[in-house]
A and B are shown apart, each in its own frame.
Chain A
Amino acid sequence: MFETLTEKLQTVFDNLSRRGKLTEADVDAAMREVRLALLEADVNYKVVKDLVARVKERAVGAEVMKSLTPAQQVVKIVHEELIATLGQPAKLDLSGPTPHVVMLVGLQGSGKTTTAAKLALHLRKSGQRPLLVAADTYRPAAIHQLEVLGKQLDIPVHSEGDKVPPPQICANAVRRARESAYTVVIMDTAGRLQINEDMMRELEQIKQLTKPQEVLLVADAMTGQQAVNVAKTFHERVGLTGLILTKMDGDARGGAAISMREVTNVPIKFVGVGEKVDALEVFHPDRMAGRILGMGDVLSLIEKAQATMDEEKTRSAAQRLMKGEFDLEDFLGQMQQMRKMGPLSQLLDMIPGMGRLTKEIAPEVTDKQMKQIEAIISSMTREERRRPEIINASRKRRIARGSGTTVQDVNELLSQFKQAQRLMKQLAAQGKGRRGGRFPGFPGLPLG
């Protein structure tokens, strides 16, 4: 189990501080942990140095808020600083005359081709007429890959095989777009190393010939310390206008985002969250910051929870939970609340000690399964939700019919619920053992 930054800082402050103002000594001790946490998240070493300096400046002398411990106060400042560094999400710039030209660049294997298709779909949904351009003439079958994706989405792909130089292909594509009234041209360029002189020159040529409005660096969220050099060099050579972070559906902490933002100062425009063509999302700096700080970081969860949770409901659920009462209604209510906050598995991971819950009851609770669970519980009577033990075979059949599922599905849900209930009781018992008889700093914690 990960030890969260908050927990680590808690131990630091246990030896040091009382409430009131944060002193320089407090902050110095805390900064070491902050620094390590950021480095573990793959934020670049030099960037961490600057960040830590900024945080320190803000933290020394800061008033510790009544509701927070000094540790949480420091994490809060770090969190805010990260959000500020990540910047606000920005939309694609599609102003001015059509066709708008969008150029995707990046290292090999960062996900340009998939992203090109996702972007095209996204733009078509917003009323554009996109044209995809297969400008990767190097990787075997890259052109074919884009063509297959184009066919799937019914979006035209401009390709001239792999014998024509990419700058020429791109220039032709823009001409074709103008003539055929396409509104956006999305150019999928070949992956290249930022130190490959010839290949970088090719990008410059493409840029010169097509005058793209957007030059987006597609980068893997798993990138390590190199993110800085990659982003910096691409930015110097072709003038980036934005970043797209891919493979965010994995468990990478994504510190590369901070590094790349810091050296380019261009906004993160999208994140890729899956292999499906619609798995492209706008960027949320607050979620990203929480993620970089580490899973299980209670503070970002508090903030999330405050923003989205119906406090009354949660509090009553939490109280009942502590008493070991936890029924299907709470289960459903919390699932619905949590859906507003993001993927369930990620969320559970954020709560210390909940990682194993994710594994035990929900190896992979997808949104689809979630909908099914909702449907099943909604098909129960109030009585059934409060006292699931009364659900007999005939009730199960009725519930299955009502929710468009099978009795097996109902059974599965009930057994999952039972498991969850058992875990809740265990956790509640643990919670009582701790200081103050509640989970540290988290009165309204969902599910515990």
Chain B
Amino acid sequence: MLKLFRRTKEEELADQQRLHDSLEKTRSGFMGRLSTLFQPNELTEQTWEELEETLIMGDVGVETTLALVEKVRQRARQEGLKRTDQVQAVLKQEMLALLDHPAEMALDEPRLLTVVLVVGVNGSGKTTSIAKLAKLYKDHGRKVVLAAADTFRAAAVRQLEIWGERVGVDVISQGQGADPGAVVYDAIRACQESRQADLLIVDTAGRLHTKYNLMKELEKVRNVAARQVHKAPHEVFLVLDATTGQNGLSQARHFKEAVDITGVILTKLDGTAKGGIVFAISKELGVPVRFVGTGEKVDDIAFFDARTFVESLFK
């Protein structure tokens, strides 16, 4: 498939480096122990227990952890693995398999106007992630417009506008309390007419996935976009805080049901948080991680690369 822009080798390396760096802290804690686990020693019962502990401490979740460990155990038996480093390789393969998904994103396909909806629970980092995305795609030659459809939280519109100014992209807004559907309608019109933009990123209000009415509202916003632009929204990204525990799966499930999320943006991966819940999300819902937020600066975003992610965990 033809891409509007192709990442250069250097960019890919820079991405990998950023991801690697952000996981550095993680590694010294959680994954650090994982690597020490994998000294070429004889396998013992304790090895498996420690492995289980390490995965659970990384928020991978009980079910996924047990399934992973069982699978690797089985393979170790079948393939006659005796050393921990061999088991490491097998575990990596299995973890990678969970994150397996097609690399192409609808976001990168050429079309007149691409509409991206960004959703998530309160405080997950939607607005900041949108600013980062806008910068990333603007730097790659796309004409980006942002829609301030978080009309609920005090000052959310202002926050997006400030980011818009910093990044140098237009923000379409109607102020606090406006109907989010109307904002999206306006923004699409603006993209098609006055702004001549080819990428619209919609910021929505944070909402807990258990709030029936708010999820309905989100469906409506989605429908507004769908009516105006063929096959829109082309991407619906769920912004997920890497510190989130097992509730992340419930979030993804509910948002998928309501607005059919197509990808995850994993934020705040710069702490000691691991974001292990993405394994479960990827496995159970088939929703891939697309980007990771790796810091507080506007450039701190990287394309998610499953191999790098898993590899980094073991280094």
A binds B: yes
Least Cβ–Cβ distance between B150 and chain A, in angstroms: 11
Q: Does A141 lie within 8 Å of B246, measured CB to CB?
A: no
A194 cross-chain contacts in B, Cβ below 8 A: 271-272
Least Cβ–Cβ distance between A108 and chain B, in angstroms: 7
Most buried by B among A36, A195, A252, A364: A252
Closest partner residue, chain A, to B241 (CB atom)? A109
Closest partner residue, chain B, to A345 (CB atom)? B210
A327 within 8 A of B: no
Instruction: Report the Cα distance A222→B59, complex, angstroms.
Output: 11
Q: Does A42 lie within 8 Å of B245, measured CB to CB?
A: yes
Interface positions, chain A 104-118, Cβ under 8 Å from B, are: 107-111
A195 cross-chain contacts in B, Cβ below 8 A: 25, 271-272
A206 within 8 A of B: no
Least Cβ–Cβ distance between B228 and chain A, in angstroms: 28
Q: Does B62 lie within 8 Å of A109, measured CB to CB?
A: no
A142 cross-chain contacts in B, Cβ below 8 A: 155, 159
Q: Does B247 lie within 8 Å of A148, measured CB to CB?
A: no
A253 cross-chain contacts in B, Cβ below 8 A: 246-247
Q: For the complex, count residues of A whose C-beta is within 8 A of B.
A: 47
Most buried by B among A144, A152, A256: A144
Q: Does A224 lie within 8 Å of B272, measured CB to CB?
A: no
A193 within 8 A of B: yes
Q: Does B271 lie within 8 Å of A250, measured CB to CB?
A: no
The majority secondary structure among interface residues of chain B is loop
Closest partner residue, chain A, to B154 (CB atom)? A148
A363 within 8 A of B: yes
Closest partner residue, chain A, to B212 (CB atom)? A364
B46 within 8 A of A: no
B53 cross-chain contacts in A, Cβ below 8 A: 45
Q: Does B250 lie within 8 Å of A141, measured CB to CB?
A: no
Of A44, A138, A224, A251, the residue contacting B250 (CB under 8 A) is: A251
Q: Does A110 lie within 8 Å of B245, measured CB to CB?
A: no
Q: Does B247 lie within 8 Å of A226, measured CB to CB?
A: no
Interface positions, chain A 131-146, Cβ under 8 Å from B, are: 138-142, 144-146
B180 within 8 A of A: no
B121 within 8 A of A: yes
Instruction: Report the Cα distance A177→B25, complex, angstroms.
Output: 41
Instruction: Report the Cα distance A36→B248, complex, angstroms.
Output: 18
Of B5-13, B108-116, B122-130, B190-198, the stretch lying at the interface with chain A is B122-130
Given contacts A40-B62, A253-B246, A364-B213, contact A145 B154 (CB under 8 A): yes
A311 within 8 A of B: no
B270 within 8 A of A: yes
B140 within 8 A of A: no
Q: Does B159 lie within 8 Å of A140, measured CB to CB?
A: yes
The majority secondary structure among interface residues of chain A is loop
A41 within 8 A of B: yes
Instruction: Report the Cα distance A109→B161, complex, angstroms.
Output: 19
Of B122, B162, B176, the residue contacting A111 (CB under 8 A) is: B122
B149 within 8 A of A: no
Of B155, B161, B213, B273, the residue contacting A148 (CB under 8 A) is: B155
A222 cross-chain contacts in B, Cβ below 8 A: 121, 241, 244-245, 247-248, 251
B61 within 8 A of A: yes
A205 within 8 A of B: no
Instruction: Report the Cα distance A40→B213, complex, angstroms.
Output: 28
Of B212, B213, B247, B271, the residue contacting A193 (CB under 8 A) is: B271
Least Cβ–Cβ distance between A425 and chain B, in angstroms: 26
Given contacts A40-B61, A108-B268, A109-B125, contact A145 B155 (CB under 8 A): yes
Closest partner residue, chain A, to B176 (CB atom)? A148
Least Cβ–Cβ distance between A281 and chain B, in angstroms: 16
Q: Does A275 lie within 8 Å of B152, measured CB to CB?
A: yes
Interface positions, chain A 247-262, Cβ under 8 Å from B, are: 247, 249-253, 255-256
Interface positions, chain A 34-85, Cβ under 8 Å from B, are: 36, 39-42, 44-45
Interface residues, chain B, with chain A CB atoms under 8 Å away? 25, 29, 53, 56-59, 61-63, 121-125, 152-156, 158-159, 161-163, 166, 176, 208-213, 241, 243-248, 250-251, 268, 270-274, 276-277, 296
A-B contact pairs, 23 of them (CB 8 A): A36-B62, A39-B62, A40-B61, A40-B63, A40-B246, A107-B243, A108-B125, A109-B122, A110-B123, A140-B166, A141-B159, A146-B154, A147-B155, A152-B154, A193-B268, A222-B241, A224-B243, A225-B245, A226-B273, A247-B123, A249-B210, A275-B152, A364-B211
